[in-house]
Amino acid sequence: MFNGEIKDEFNSLIELTDYLRDEMDCIMYLSKKRWGDNTVCPHCGCEKVYSFSDGIRYKCSHCRKQFTVKVGTIFEGSKVSLRKWFIAIYLITSHKKGISSYQLAKDIDVTQKTAWFMLHRIRYALSQADLDIELENDVEIDETYVGGKNKNRHWNKKVKHSQGRSTEDKTPVFGMIERNGKVIAMVVPDVKGKTLKDIIRRMVKDTARIISDEYIGYSGLEKIFRQHVYVQHGAGQYVIGDIYTNTIEGFWSIAKRAIIGIYHCLSPKHLQRYFDEFTFRYNTRKMKEGERVNKMLSLCYVRMTYQNLVYG
C-alpha cells in the first residue's frame, strides 16, 4: 500500500495496483504528487488551507471555497474512481498502439461512453506535454491525409466526386520530426504553403536544416532556415545520402496502423487528440512504461468538461 513515497516508475500494472490498493491510497498519492506537503487552493492559489478529518476535502482560508485533489484536474467532476483512472492511464500510455474505448470499458468495468470520455480527457492532458518545444538540427517535414476510402464509409457520409486524387473527404495532418528527437503532428485546415510555413516558423528554430519532398508548398523555406534540402519522390528518389524523410514517414505509418486497428470510426474533430496520444508515446519512447505513467500524472492538472469536449 501507499507509504507516502512517490514512485519514479511502476514496472507493471500489478505493481501499480499493489501500491495503490484503494481509493484513499490513490487520493493520497495524487495529493502528494501534486502538492508535496503544501496543499495549495486550486481556486485562488492560497497556501493556507484547512483539511477535513476525512482526509479528502480541504477548505481555503482565503476564498473560503472547499475542494478535493480532483479539482482543477482531468478527474474533476468524474464519478469514476481515481483507481480506475490510474489504471486507464497505465493502459493508454503503455499499450504501444493505444486502446479502444470498448476495450477500456471491459478492462475497468465502466460503460463504453464513460471510457470514451476518459480516453479523451487523458489525451487532452497528453496534448499539454510538449506545448513549448522547438525542433532544431535536422528536421524532416511531411504532410499526410487521414480518413477517406469512400467504399468503407457509411453511405450518408460519402463525399461526392472524391475518387482519384481529390482529398476532399480526408483530413490533412502536418508533421515535423527532429531526427533522434521529438515529433509534432498537427491537424491542419489545408496544406497551402502559407499555412504550413507559418507552423514551421513557429515550431522550428531557424538554425535548423529542413528536409522534405519536392512539394511546391515548401518552396521558400531556404530563405527562412539555415538550409532546405529535398528528395524528389515523384521521380522515384527516396534517399540521397542523409537526405530522406523516412523518419517522419515511419511515424505516419505507426499512427495510421493504430487508427485502422483500433480507432475505426474516427471523426476529424477528434483526430488531433489521437495524434496527441501518438505524439506523446513517440516523444516518451526512451522512457520506461512506468515512468510514462508518472509523466502522464504530472500532466493531469488541466480541467476539461464534457461541454468543451463535445462542443468546444
Of 123, 127, 108, 238, nearest to 185 by C-alpha is 127
- Selected from 41, 184, 208, 300, the binder of Zn ion by CB under 5 A is 41
d(CA 68, CA 27): 9
* Residue 24: other Cβ atoms inside 10 A: 16
Compare residues 39 and 284 and give the one whose CB is closer to Zn ion: 39
44 binds Zn ion (CB under 5 A): yes
Compare residues 42 and 172 and give the one whose CB is closer to Zn ion: 42
CB 39 within 8 A of CB 56: no
**Binding map of Zn ion across residues 45-64, x = CB under 5 A, - = no contact:** -x-------------x-xx-
Closest separation between CB of residue 49 and Zn ion, Å?
7
Tell me the DSSP string of 272-311: HHHHHHHHHHHHTTTS-HHHHHHHHHTT------HHHHHT
CB 87 within 8 A of CB 16: yes
Compare residues 43 and 170 and give the one whose CB is closer to Zn ion: 43
Burial of 55 (0-12, 13-18, 19+ CB in 10 A): exposed
Closest separation between CB of residue 46 and Zn ion, Å?
4
40 binds Zn ion (CB under 5 A): no
- Sites for Zn ion among residues 129-168 (CB under 5 A): none
- Sites for Zn ion among residues 62-81 (CB under 5 A): 62-63
d(CA 309, CA 312): 6
Give the interface segment with Zn ion, choosing from 33-41, 145-153, 199-207, 212-220 (CB under 5 A): 33-41
Closest separation between CB of residue 111 and Zn ion, Å?
34
Site for Zn ion, rule CB under 5 A: 41, 43-44, 46, 60, 62-63
